[in-house]
Amino acid sequence: MDAMPSDSVLLANRPVHRMGFGAMQLPGPGIFGPPGNRERALAVLRRAVDAGVNHIDTAQFYGPDVANELIHEALHPYPEELVLVSKVGAARDEQGQWLPAQRPEELRAGVEANLRSLELDQVPVVNLRRHPDSDVPIAEQLEAMIALRDEGLIGGIGLSNVDLDSYRLARSLTEVACVQNAFNLADRSGQDVFDACREDEVPYVPFFPLGSAFNPENPVLGAPSVRETARRLNATPAQVALAWLLHKAPKVLLIPGTSSLDHLEENLAAADLALDQEAIELLS
């Protein structure tokens, strides 16, 4: 196994490197159906772990069922240090449309599906993904998640897609393992939750760290400040964007996803990129 330089952060009391891997891009287009190249998807997962990644983010509804099945085939039996993080709160229909699955019984069914597909007795961390239009009170959802944790089916409870009020309510009811919200150089709309997590020393996992996979124009990688910094530091725009996030707070954990071995190596190398003061000022 390669030694990947990276600080460790405790995630549900388990140490993980700050540079992880997100499995969302392993299924087919639109995060739906099988991968375009199955062997390459398996190779990316195996290479990530060989390179030192010990935090992989996934979901049963990626595919659906595809990402978890690939992780199982590529990595089971799992290395002892590997922390698999999944999420519940959504589902897919046969056309690939995203559906809310917010009721307590749906959250439980989602956890049980992850346990089966990943072949685990306990999912180390499960994020409760709030649907923006959910009519289920978050306190009711957290009660279900706490019960699943008390039963030993999940190790830690994370939050995803939450606003500041929901985050604070959750913190008053239970320990929060991590928060996974959108945050990147071009989208800082969640700065209030980011700042609260930094103050509370709760690990923050920005999704779409390189910009939304659904936005072909990508305002992160195309930003003049990012491209200029990349040229000056002899890095790629993706590495600059990832390094900026790592610089923002000591408990930021990154999960950039890819189905390409070359992009995987590029992303992992961002852990070594030190931004100087000029870069930080320009990017900020």
**How far apart (Å, rounded) are the C-alpha atoms in residues 130 and 278?**
38
Q: Is the pLDDT of residue 5 over 70?
A: no
Q: Which residue has the tokens 């020393």?
A: 201
Instruction: With respect to residue 172, please indicate whether it lies within any of the assigned structural domains.
Output: yes
Domains held by the chain: number: 1
Supply the pLDDT for residue 218: 85
CATH number at residue 53: 3.20.20.100
Supply the pLDDT for residue 177: 98
**How far apart (Å, rounded) are the C-alpha atoms in residues 258 and 238?**
12
Do residues 9 and 56 lie in contact, with contact meaning Cβ atoms separated by under 8 Å?
A: no
3-state secondary structure of 266: helix
213 falls in which pLDDT band (50, 70, 90)?
Answer: low
Cβ burial 86-120 (10 Å sphere, 16+ → b, else e): bbbbbbbeeeeeeebbbbbebbbebbebbbebbeb
DSSP 8-state assignment for residue 182: B
Give the number of other CB atoms < 10 A from CB of residue 234.
Answer: 8
Supply the pLDDT for residue 211: 86
Do residues 162 and 193 lie in contact, with contact meaning Cβ atoms separated by under 8 Å?
A: yes
Provide the residue range defining the domain that includes 165: 14-283
Supply the pLDDT for residue 2: 43
Q: Is the pLDDT of residue 6 over 60?
A: no
**For residue 229, how far is the Cα from the chain centroid?**
25
Question: Which of 214, 209, 206 shows the shortest CA–CA distance to 30?
Answer: 214
Instruction: With respect to residue 131, please indicate whether it lies within any of the assigned structural domains.
Output: yes
DSSP 8-state assignment for residue 269: H
- Express each pLDDT in 115-134 by its tens digit: 999 999 999 999 999 999 99
- Express each pLDDT in 26-64 by its tens digit: 999 999 999 999 999 999 999 999 999 999 999 999 999
Instruction: With respect to residue 3, please indicate whether it lies within any of the assigned structural domains.
Output: no
pLDDT: is 105 or 214 the higher one? 105
- Express each pLDDT in 214-248 by its tens digit: 676 789 999 999 999 999 999 999 999 999 999 99
Instruction: With respect to residue 4, please indicate whether it lies within any of the assigned structural domains.
Output: no
3-state secondary structure of 192: helix
Instruction: With respect to residue 66, please indicate whether it lies within any of the assigned structural domains.
Output: yes
Peptide bond into 64 cis (omega under 30): yes
**What are the catalytic residues?**
62
Instruction: With respect to residue 275, please indicate whether it lies within any of the assigned structural domains.
Output: yes
Average of pLDDT values for 177-186?
97
What ranges make up the beta strands (E) of 119-192? 123-129, 154-160, 179-180
Do residues 281 and 235 lie in contact, with contact meaning Cβ atoms separated by under 8 Å?
A: no
**How far apart (Å, rounded) are the C-alpha atoms in residues 113 and 105?**
12
Average pLDDT of the chain, as a whole number: 95
